[in-house]
Homo-oligomer: A and B are copies of this chain.
Amino acid sequence: MAYRRTERVIRRLAARREDILAAARDAVAEGGMAAVQIVPVAERAGIAAGTVYRYFPSKTELVNELVEQACAREVETMRRAAEAAPGPLSAIAAAVAALGQRALQNRKLAWALIGEPADTETGAVRHACRAALAGEFGRLIRTAAAAGLLPAEQSPAVTAPALVGAMIEGLIGPLAPEIESNPARQREAVQSLTLLVLRALGVADARARGLVVQIALPAVTEGAA
């Protein structure tokens, strides 16, 4: 044998791989999914087009990994926020607020990754992502319902996806008012949305119960794009 990957090389390769993913992420954040093109992404990463294919078998795979990564991060954010909450209801509130907060931090990115579609292949991954979000959310709903905190008539199979849709559309969808750069209005929007979701689930007096205040602004600082 005459060649074996050194620790140093392995590290370099891994770093390069991350660079590519980061470049792709940046591209998405700037120009949406359509902006993820091999040559531009490669340039952004400071490498040649062909090199991308040393790390990813195809563009589809690259995009898939991007979406999966982002999705996992969101689900994790949600889960953590919920776990840190003192009870099932505030867990829901916290989850919504955390997700909303993050989404607002980079609306275009979030929208592109979760909302905007791509080829059929990628569609499956995105579907899995939404399903994961809805699933996690459904779990929170069921927990609260089981604890008698929500009207029992809930059908999480319908409400969870619908509310995920409400969050997506309400905050990051193309409809959302332009609040990108205004922290105060962002906070406001997230709160409105949180209240909306709670009401939708049958919690009429969330504000009175102080469910909103305690989740007002979960510091989300990790993993900046």
Chain A interface (Cβ < 8 Å from any Cβ of B):
34, 115-117, 119-120, 123, 126-127, 130-131, 134, 155, 157-159, 161-171, 173-177, 189, 192-193, 196-197, 199-202, 204
B residues less than 8 Å from A173 (CB atoms): 130, 161, 165
B residues less than 8 Å from A170 (CB atoms): 158-159, 161-162, 165
B residues less than 8 Å from A158 (CB atoms): 170, 177, 189, 192-193, 196
New A-B pairs, 12, CB < 8 Å, besides A126-B174, A158-B170: A117-B117, A158-B177, A158-B189, A158-B192, A159-B170, A161-B169, A162-B169, A163-B196, A164-B175, A165-B170, A196-B200, A199-B201
Contact status of A130 and B174, CB under 8 A, knowing A189-B158, A204-B204: yes
Closest B residue to A165 using CB positions: B169
- CB pair B116 A193 closer than 8 Å: no
Identify the 5 closest CB pairs spanning chains A and B, nearest first.
A165-B169, A162-B170, A200-B200, A161-B175, A166-B166
- CB pair B164 A177 closer than 8 Å: no
B residues less than 8 Å from A134 (CB atoms): 175
Copies of this chain, count: 2
Partner of A116, one of B117, B162, B167, B169: B117
Contact status of A131 and B166, CB under 8 A, knowing A158-B193, A158-B196, A189-B158: no
B residues less than 8 Å from A193 (CB atoms): 158, 162
B residues less than 8 Å from A168 (CB atoms): 165, 169
B residues less than 8 Å from A116 (CB atoms): 117
Contact status of A119 and B34, CB under 8 A, knowing A177-B157, A202-B199: yes
Greatest chain B CB density within 10 A among A170, A192, A204 is at A170
- CB pair A192 B127 closer than 8 Å: no
B residues less than 8 Å from A200 (CB atoms): 166, 196-197, 199-200
